[in-house]
A and B are shown apart, each in its own frame.
Chain A
């Protein structure tokens, strides 16, 4: 078909080239359409499957999508702030729903931290602490996984596989397992997030190390430095800005992760949010959402600012 459209005035070899090009183009078109077709089938099948196995069907539920938004409107706008700062509500009727002062965290006799701020602090602490733990272990392991520093393929492969497993292991299971052993509290969440962070940061770290300039290391090697000295004086100064930038990036991710882990039983603000949505406490839910939103925006902005100062614009590649 393509051959028929050849203009008449081609030379023999020109026609050959043109024909070949058209063949290639036709093949490419065929592959593109095949790929798109496969993709469409997979996508359509997925949509159908998702709708079929869902508790409520999409088109049945769509008209009611915002019903629950209506349910979430508090009795007046100030209620949100009363809930946020644990101030007594004028609608208090003895029920838990309007009992905002309950849960105040008293530091002295008269000075208290509102419940949600305290829980937010807990979540933030989970995130920061486990990011630090993950960074420390990721730092220790990444040099063993980098091709340019660890010629022994067995050690390298072992460390890399371990990191992959740590990264891919479902956090829910880690949290649930340690919840069963350690009983309630934020520590299961800390362990779960830390373990995941070790794997994730370890991978990013060793990729940075593999891209490091090896000239300094060569110089130290020529001067007779041992492995630890070479790593410490030749590699670490080069990769440190990138490491800190990845630390900050991971911190952003971990703030979200520790909120979610909290919702499955790990304590912190996530648990309160899940409970208050489940119990239809409008003002409390909105207060938590507001607090969470502001915190995440603040952490993101702070970390973006610090990263820009550290490594410039290249720090904005996202990684997880």
Chain B
């Protein structure tokens, strides 16, 4: 490798002064821009109070919400009774259905007969009227007297199925064993025994292992096992939150007769099973159950998604159809009238600069929530943008073709049709496709403002902070739609004007 001598380097520098002796501004503008950006970042850090907001954020909540996107919890509660027995209770809308009996929760059951005191009011039965309705007063009087005489409390013998011992398998090495008055937790090598007596919770090993926390002595103990779930040991009950990967009851909800059946079972039921509902075939029943799944609301989600797609499609088509003729009026070289050029161009600017948000709010007020409002908003904004682009494209066309057609005496419409349109049509269509694609994306957010479609449904699902799995479902659908439409639009565009040209 040869090395340059100092004098040679100076000679080169003298030969190219424009590279080695530039103005101060040219030399320092990059660092200056970066410095300005950094300073602005600091200002925004202060303006948005980013540090404070991030510090106060509830990050564990974020973890739970994110986990909710792809998993669900089953929440049995093991309640202590007064008689040294227990009861396992599931919430009303448990994803396991009406009579859950999961294999990760084993319970030892016992049938006990015991006498319990029944309050008088509960035992008093409604008076039976033996007399005719013609003399209601007499009947009521005698019944009231009867109720009063039955007032002293009595006992009743009841036979019940109770749980004497329950064991929950939370993970491969995590087990929670619940006995009346005592909970034993095994997590890996560590073991925690907790005594509960109806009013206090007393862990028997101190200090508590890392995965267990108790805020104050005697209060509930919270056990967290990461993605496997968590549990709370309270004085009179143990609440289990076991987390499962996946979307619960995505196809059939718990009320459906097809719930909790394997795929082959469902198919055989549909194909040759007896009719469950005598009024219709099993296939239509199954389809109906899927569409009206109460948890996932497939039909509603699909309808709303279609609304969003339609919003973008119709809005863009209408905008193109209106912008096309108006662009000819706005183009200087086609309509030779300064006033109409300026009027049309300012009209485009107006449509564009009144934000899509304002149009959306305006049309939501006018048409009510729904796709009409969204498509009108897209129509108005994009007429402005497309009109501007189209008129600029028209002003840049090659004039020779027009002149050629004019020279053979063609009427004005024919001049435009054969002299102008063939030049600009591919560009016009390609730009329209581009806007269609981008509107498919932005129609979601227009919807959330109130214009209907999937955006509004997403917003409603997010507001409760408990339906993140539905949000995930809709996001997946939106992503699929966006990618498919991107593909279609790209394919059409590259057919129109060749690759690498957008």
Instruction: Please give the residue numbers on chain A whose beta carbons come within 8 Å of chain B beta carbons, in ascending order.
Output: 42-43, 46-47, 49-51, 53-56, 58, 61, 64-65, 68, 122, 125, 128-129, 132, 164-165, 167-173, 176-177, 179-183, 185-187, 190, 211, 256-257, 259-261, 263-264, 270, 273-274, 277, 289, 292-293, 296-297, 300, 316, 318-320
B178 at the interface (CB under 8 A from A): no
Looking at the complex, which one of B41, B311, B462 makes contact with A50 (CB distance below 8 Å)? B311
CB distance from B78 to the nearest CB of A (A): 31
Inter-chain contact A289/B458, CB cutoff 8 Å: no
Inter-chain contact B356/A181, CB cutoff 8 Å: no
Give B38-61 as 1s and 0s: 1 = Cβ < 8 Å from A's Cβ atoms. Answer: 001100100111100110111101
Inter-chain contact B355/A129, CB cutoff 8 Å: no
Looking at the complex, which one of A54, A125, A177, A277 makes contact with B367 (CB distance below 8 Å)? A54
Complex CA distance for A291 and B255, rounded to whole angstroms: 53
Complex CA distance for A289 and B362, rounded to whole angstroms: 11
Inter-chain contact A185/B53, CB cutoff 8 Å: yes
Looking at the complex, which one of A42, A51, A129, A292 makes contact with B372 (CB distance below 8 Å)? A51
Binds A, one of B182-190, B200-208, B447-455: B447-455
CB distance from B69 to the nearest CB of A (A): 9
CB distance from A285 to the nearest CB of B (A): 9
Complex CA distance for A319 and B446, rounded to whole angstroms: 19
Look across to chain B and name the residue whose beta carbon is closest to the beta carbon of A181. Answer: B62
Complex CA distance for A164 and B355, rounded to whole angstroms: 26
Report B332-362 residues with CB < 8 Å from chain A CB.
349, 352-358, 360-362
Known contacts A177-B65, A316-B392, A132 near B41 by CB under 8 Å? yes
- Which of chain A's residues have a CB closer than 8 A to the CB of B370? 50, 53-56
Besides A129-B48, A181-B59, A277-B365, 20 other A-B contacts (C-beta < 8 A): A50-B307, A50-B311, A53-B370, A54-B368, A54-B373, A122-B47, A128-B44, A168-B479, A173-B462, A176-B471, A181-B57, A182-B54, A182-B57, A187-B50, A264-B449, A274-B361, A274-B450, A277-B362, A297-B349, A318-B434
Q: Closest 8 CB pairs between A and B?
A: A54-B370, A55-B368, A56-B368, A176-B462, A50-B371, A320-B438, A168-B482, A181-B62
Inter-chain contact B356/A297, CB cutoff 8 Å: no
CB distance from A56 to the nearest CB of B (A): 4
- Most chain B beta carbons < 10 A, residue from A42, A180, A316: A180
CB distance from A301 to the nearest CB of B (A): 10
Inter-chain contact B48/A169, CB cutoff 8 Å: no
Inter-chain contact A289/B354, CB cutoff 8 Å: yes
Known contacts A54-B370, A55-B369, A273 near B357 by CB under 8 Å? yes
Inter-chain contact A50/B314, CB cutoff 8 Å: yes
CB distance from B71 to the nearest CB of A (A): 16
- Which of chain A's residues have a CB closer than 8 A to the CB of B303? 53
Known contacts A168-B478, A260-B445, A125 near B44 by CB under 8 Å? yes
Complex CA distance for A292 and B358, rounded to whole angstroms: 9
B228 at the interface (CB under 8 A from A): no
Looking at the complex, which one of B58, B366, B389, B445 makes contact with A181 (CB distance below 8 Å)? B58
Look across to chain B and name the residue whose beta carbon is closest to the beta carbon of A61. Answer: B367
Look across to chain A and name the residue whose beta carbon is closest to the beta carbon of B62. Answer: A181
Complex CA distance for A292 and B354, rounded to whole angstroms: 8
- Most chain A beta carbons < 10 A, residue from B41, B357, B385, B463: B357
CB distance from B22 to the nearest CB of A (A): 13
Inter-chain contact B446/A260, CB cutoff 8 Å: yes
Known contacts A173-B471, A185-B48, A260-B449, A56 near B459 by CB under 8 Å? no
Give B458-502 as 1s and 0s: 1 = Cβ < 8 Å from A's Cβ atoms. Answer: 110011010000010001001100110010000000000000100
Looking at the complex, which one of B40, B58, B365, B458 makes contact with A170 (CB distance below 8 Å)? B458
Instruction: Please give the residue numbers on chain B whose beta carbons come within 8 Å of chain A beta carbons, in ascending order.
Output: 37, 40-41, 44, 47-50, 53-54, 56-59, 61-62, 65, 303, 306-307, 310-311, 313-314, 317, 349, 352-358, 360-362, 365-373, 375, 385, 389, 392, 431, 434, 438, 441, 444-446, 448-450, 452, 455, 458-459, 462-463, 465, 471, 475, 478-479, 482-483, 486, 500
Complex CA distance for A167 and B449, rounded to whole angstroms: 20
Interface of A, secondary structure class, is: helix
CB distance from A106 to the nearest CB of B (A): 16
Total A-B contacts with CB atoms under 8 angstroms apart: 185
CB distance from A125 to the nearest CB of B (A): 6
Inter-chain contact A273/B358, CB cutoff 8 Å: yes
CB distance from A187 to the nearest CB of B (A): 5
Complex CA distance for A260 and B366, rounded to whole angstroms: 19
Look across to chain B and name the residue whose beta carbon is closest to the beta carbon of A210. Answer: B500
Complex CA distance for A185 and B50, rounded to whole angstroms: 10
* A-B contacts, 19 listed (Cβ < 8 Å): A42-B313, A49-B307, A50-B310, A50-B370, A50-B372, A50-B375, A56-B367, A56-B370, A56-B372, A61-B367, A128-B44, A168-B441, A170-B445, A179-B462, A183-B53, A261-B445, A292-B358, A296-B355, A319-B434
- Which of chain B's residues have a CB closer than 8 A to the CB of A300? 352-353
CB distance from B217 to the nearest CB of A (A): 32
- Which of chain B's residues have a CB closer than 8 A to the CB of A171? 444-445
Inter-chain contact B62/A61, CB cutoff 8 Å: no
Inter-chain contact B357/A170, CB cutoff 8 Å: no
- Which of chain B's residues have a CB closer than 8 A to the CB of A129? 40-41, 44, 48
- Most chain B beta carbons < 10 A, residue from A51, A181, A297: A181
Look across to chain B and name the residue whose beta carbon is closest to the beta carbon of A58. Answer: B372
Complex CA distance for A186 and B37, rounded to whole angstroms: 20
- Which of chain A's residues have a CB closer than 8 A to the CB of B434? 318-320
- Which of chain A's residues have a CB closer than 8 A to the CB of B362? 68, 277
Complex CA distance for A171 and B373, rounded to whole angstroms: 20
- Which of chain B's residues have a CB closer than 8 A to the CB of A54? 367-373, 452
